Structure formats: structure tokens, C-alpha cells
Amino acid sequence: KKKGDTAFRQKDFSMAIDCYSQFIDVGTMVSPTIYARRCLSYLMNDMPQQALDDAVQALAIFPTWPTAFYLQAAALFSLGKENEAREALKDGSAVEARSKGH
């Protein structure tokens, strides 16, 4: 995980993907943050379908995390699915508003 975080900060997204994938494959701890960072890395490497898959995984682990909805929207938009992206943004905004008590 640390190697992935370092690669991510250095904008070496291919290395980050590899490191995060190894961490996920070990399966010692399921973390929505790992999926989110790998999702962003996929997006930066123009791999929107893989990014979407990771955003969905992050949502499955933490269904009330607005960031996962926003990542899902970004991936959907990159795939040309603008209507679905808008829905994900609305869902994320609604979840965020509920979590802040608005």
C-alpha cells in the first residue's frame, strides 16, 4: 500500500495501479480508499472501464461515501455515459448532504 501511495503522489499511475492491485489481491484488508486511488490512477491512464469497476467496488464497501459516487461519475463521463454520470453526481450530492445534516 505504501509503495502505491508513493507512486500515486509521484504521479506514476501505472506503478500505483500495480501496487494497489497487489495489495487488493493479498486481501488482508478491504479498503474503499485503495479502490478510490486505483480508480483515479486508472482514470489518469485513460482506463475508464477499470476506473468504473473500482468506483463500484468502493461503493460496495462504503455505500455512504460521496467520493466514491464522484469517482463513479468521472469514470462514467469518460466512458461517454453523461446521463449516468449526472445521476451518480446527484446521488453523491444527496449522500453528502445527508452526512452533513442538511
> For 12-38, what is the mean pLDDT?
91
> For 98-102, what is the mean pLDDT?
77
> For 50-55, what is the mean pLDDT?
98
What CA–CA distance (Å, rounded) separates 6 from 14?
12
Query: Model pTM?
Result: 0.88
> For 7-24, what is the mean pLDDT?
94
Return the pLDDT at 68: 96
Let me know: does 54 contact 42? Beta carbons within 8 Å: yes
What CA–CA distance (Å, rounded) separates 10 from 60?
28
Let me know: does 29 contact 57? Beta carbons within 8 Å: no
Pick the CATH number of 2-99 from 2.60.120.380, 1.25.40.10, 3.30.830.10, 3.50.50.60: 1.25.40.10
What CA–CA distance (Å, rounded) separates 92 from 58?
13
* pLDDT at residue 28 is higher than 80: no
